[in-house]
Amino acid sequence: MIRVGQESWSTEQGAHGPIVLATGLWLLSREWGRAAALARPGSWLAGTALLAVLLPLYIFARVTSIVEIEGAAMYAIVLTAAYLLWGAASLRVVWFPLVYLLFMFPPPDTLFAMLTQPLKIAISQWAVTILHAAGYPIAGSGVTIQIGQYDMLVAAACAGLNSMISLTALGLFYIYIRHSANWRYMLFLLACILPVAIVANLIRVLILLLVTYHFGEAAGQGFIHEAAGLTMFMTALLGIFLIDSLARPLRDRLAARGAAA
């Protein structure tokens, strides 16, 4: 955990790690009474078989300094130990905190790049289309955008895609706390997280392009760059809250349907 904190939590991609750890432990303590009532030791055969696979994997990741695999293997070992001590029924009660705590660990860089590359290209193309329609001298190829005399490379950080993990984690926490009793509505709000994040990130890219065009590259890469990222993250989070507020009739209808079933 110390290595994960040192190498991941100090970056934009993993800055949410301490928040996830604190809130995840709070969720576990909140549900611990119900889980403890169902505690029965798990199967030693299944548990030791899992440990026989996970321990060598953890040692390999530790020796080779692959922090993503090391963190995931360590967490899997902790879950296996919890299964041996308290059993599957107990862990099922706290399934959400256990899944939520996975956001502490950084995703593998190759996987993250593979998943975000199509989004980076799409956001870049949408930004070019919007500003071209507004009359700006702009063109783009892939994630490279030319606006006026400036060239801009839309990286994961510029597109706000690093913050998407943080937004998903905090959105999950909010949805679970507010609506865990209504799983249908939970799924609806979960489906809204990605579109809200994409729209917020598109707005961020548009702001950076406009600032760069009107005030120069130094302005676009300076304080405005960081401020736009924070502003768009808060905007996306507030967007989820707004959707939750506006969708109250749907929530009531789904709750009534669930009660009737």
Return phi, psi of residue 79, to 5°.
-65, -40
Is the predicted pLDDT of residue 211 greater than 80, yes or no? yes
Query: What is the pLDDT of the chain when averaged over all its residues?
Result: 83
| Domain C-terminal end among 81, 104, 127 | 104
- Assess whether 43 and 88 both reside in one domain: yes
- Assess whether 119 and 148 both reside in one domain: yes
- Assess whether 54 and 168 both reside in one domain: no
Average pLDDT rounded to a whole number, residues 25-38? 91
Q: CA angle, corner 44, sides to 40 and 46, nearest 5?
A: 105
- Assess whether 97 and 131 both reside in one domain: no
Q: At what angle do helices 248-260 and 223-246 cross, to 10 degrees?
A: 50
Is the predicted pLDDT of residue 5 greater than 90, yes or no? no
Average pLDDT rounded to a whole number, residues 119-135? 91
What is the spatial distance between Cα 80 and Cα 49, in angstroms, rounded to a whole number?
Answer: 10
| Domain C-terminal end among 69, 104, 139 | 104
Average pLDDT rounded to a whole number, residues 205-232? 77
- Assess whether 27 and 131 both reside in one domain: no
Better-predicted residue by pLDDT, 122 or 13: 122
The pLDDT value recorded for residue 54 is 95
- Assess whether 124 and 241 both reside in one domain: yes
What is the spatial distance between Cα 6 and Cα 67, in angstroms, rounded to a whole number?
Answer: 10
Q: What is the pTM of this model?
A: 0.78
Task: Give Rg (Cα) of the chain.
Answer: 22
State which residues form the domain around 185: 109-260
Choose the catalytic residue: 178, 204, 251, 253: 204
Question: Using 50, 70 and 90 to split pLDDT, how confident is the model at 223?
Answer: low
Average pLDDT rounded to a whole number, residues 7-23? 76
Return phi, psi of residue 5, to 5°.
-65, -40
The pLDDT value recorded for residue 50 is 94
- Assess whether 138 and 241 both reside in one domain: yes
What is the spatial distance between Cα 252 and Cα 236, in angstroms, rounded to a whole number?
Answer: 24
- Assess whether 128 and 252 both reside in one domain: yes
What is the spatial distance between Cα 133 and Cα 143, in angstroms, rounded to a whole number?
Answer: 19
Average pLDDT rounded to a whole number, residues 230-249? 84
CB atoms within 10 A of CB 166: 22
Give strand pairing partners of 140.
Answer: 145
Is the predicted pLDDT of residue 261 greater than 80, yes or no? no
Residue 89 tokens, joined: 């029924």
Sheet with 144-147, side-by-side order of all strands: 138-141, 144-147, 150-153
Choose the catalytic residue: 40, 62, 158, 192: 158
| Domain C-terminal end among 104, 127, 150 | 104
Average pLDDT rounded to a whole number, residues 129-154? 89
H-type helices in 38-161, by residue range? 44-64, 67-93, 95-100, 109-133
In the chain, % of residues over pLDDT 90: 29
Is the predicted pLDDT of residue 98 greater than 70, yes or no? yes
Tell me which H or E stretch contains 163. helix 162-179
- Assess whether 160 and 247 both reside in one domain: yes
The pLDDT value recorded for residue 260 is 54
Candidates 215, 105, 123; CA nearest to 160 is 123
- Alpha carbon 205 to its chain's center: 19
Is the predicted pLDDT of residue 63 greater than 60, yes or no? yes
Known active-site residue 192: no
- Assess whether 113 and 164 both reside in one domain: yes
Torsion of CA 249, 254, 260, 261, to 10 degrees: 170
- Assess whether 96 and 29 both reside in one domain: yes
Instruction: Please state whether beta strands 150-153 and 144-147 pair in parallel, antiparallel, or not at all (unpaired).
Output: antiparallel
- Assess whether 83 and 185 both reside in one domain: no
What is the spatial distance between Cα 92 and Cα 80, in angstroms, rounded to a whole number?
Answer: 13
Question: Using 50, 70 and 90 to split pLDDT, how confident is the model at 129?
Answer: very high
Better-predicted residue by pLDDT, 162 or 23: 23
Is the predicted pLDDT of residue 14 greater than 70, yes or no? no
pLDDT, tens only, 147-202: 888 888 876 555 556 677 888 888 889 888 887 767 788 888 888 888 888 888 88
Q: How many domains does the chain have?
A: 2
b/e sequence 227-246, b meaning 16+ C-beta within 10 Å:
ebbeebbeebbebbeebbee
Is the predicted pLDDT of residue 9 greater than 70, yes or no? no
Better-predicted residue by pLDDT, 6 or 78: 78
Known active-site residue 30: no
